[in-house]
Amino acid sequence: MSTEYSFERPASSAWRTRDIVVAATIGVAFGVVFWFWNIFVWKPAEPLFAFLPPAQNVLYGLWLVPAVLAPLIVRRPGAAVFAEVVAASVSALLGTQWGVDVLLSGFVQGAAAELVFAVTLYRAWSLPILATAAFASAAAAWVHDWAVYYQASSLDVMVWVFAFMALSALTLAAGGAVLLAGALRRAGVLEGFPS
């Protein structure tokens, strides 16, 4: 993949109305995708990973996409948290097996990615930065999930869980965000945005 997404942020870090609309649209769209993913992919896939249950986390990265895609497009402070929390909220409203904990999960995932973009002062948008943000989001999700859902799991199992989550974050979240942003740009819907 190219690093054509390495642009500087706009002169102002203030949110414009269209930034809010685009980031919210990403969040809402992915909230619906999350709902579908929870019901029709994650749960039904469990038997496919019976040989190595931690491997199911190779599907986890989809839940991290808004934390990478929204900042890549709008390039504003807070975009990762905003999009992830909106997506988690929509997912919770539609119904999820994890209840309201998805709100905390979304916040944690978005905040971890946000930290990476903040370190770059919202000026670096290369694939390595996007991959680092996706990796950070996966790491935060792993800590959250271990504390909430996998307290009885051993360290060696959780290392495997993290390995699959990280792989998924790099491919689905970072790679997926680059591909989606590119497709949206080619479709002409990102006019007025640096990406």
Band of residue 12 on the pLDDT scale cut at 50, 70, 90: low
- For residue 97, the SS3 value is coil
Please, which residues have CB within 8 angstroms of residue 130's CB and are 6 or more apart in sequence? Answer: 5, 68, 72, 174, 177, 178
Band of residue 166 on the pLDDT scale cut at 50, 70, 90: very high
More confident call, 40 vs 6: 40
Does the pTM surpass 0.85? The reply is yes
pLDDT for 84-139, tens place per residue? 999 999 999 999 888 899 999 999 999 999 999 999 999 999 999 999 999 999 99
pLDDT for 32-60, tens place per residue? 999 999 999 999 999 999 999 999 999 99
Domain ranges of the chain: 17-186
